[in-house]
Chains A and B, each alone.
Chain A
């Protein structure tokens, strides 16, 4: 069964450092997303991406964040100058359809900022 894969599964970084979280969406999917879940809290939408551009971003997704699809398979989330409050599980998701399609989530990348 096709799946969304994410790397790394866990990253520990020092405050102020840049991190890149990587995702390989399901190959025939066209819509890509990043969600975030602070420990013990709800899953929050960060950004959606389609046709090589951001479709929508939440208020969380400020200038510190950026997304990119550098090639035909990877979808990355970059966090510049990490802060303690960026510590969370970051989920990548993809869907085949723009609306109503099931979101297929990766297993998440846990980011710990010290």
Chain B
């Protein structure tokens, strides 16, 4: 069975601080995909990044960076110099490979509040 754990329910930081959102996953698949989605207060789900299980390179996109470590089954997300607009719920998700369809299992989300 697939499982995604986001142990941090809520995090508050002061603007300009760095913050890391943790994600630990479980799967028996050797091929899988990992995602991060952002859900701002308006409610929509915004795609941030996709990673496949064969690509452990870390990625940086502006103030966002992701650290994928298969050895610890973790896919952590860091926001550098946080801004108030970063306030949202962030979901880590695991995509099941094979079977001809995509089934994504979401974590419970981490609510990030950036205080001005």
Contact = CB atoms under 8 A, between A and B. Distances in A.
Interface in A43-63: 43-45, 48, 50, 55-56
Contacts of A44: 106
A44 B109 CA distance: 12
B43 A89 contact: yes
A102 B47 contact: yes
Contacts of A35: 106
A108 B44 contact: yes
B43 A100 contact: no
Interface string B16-50: 00000000000000000101010000111101001
Interface residues of A, number: 28
A75 interface: no
B102 A33 contact: yes
Nearest to A110: B43
Contacts of A106: 44
Contacts of A95: 102
Interface of B: 33, 35, 37, 42-45, 47, 50, 52, 91, 93, 95-109
9 contacts: A35-B106, A44-B106, A48-B101, A50-B101, A89-B43, A98-B101, A99-B95, A102-B50, A105-B44
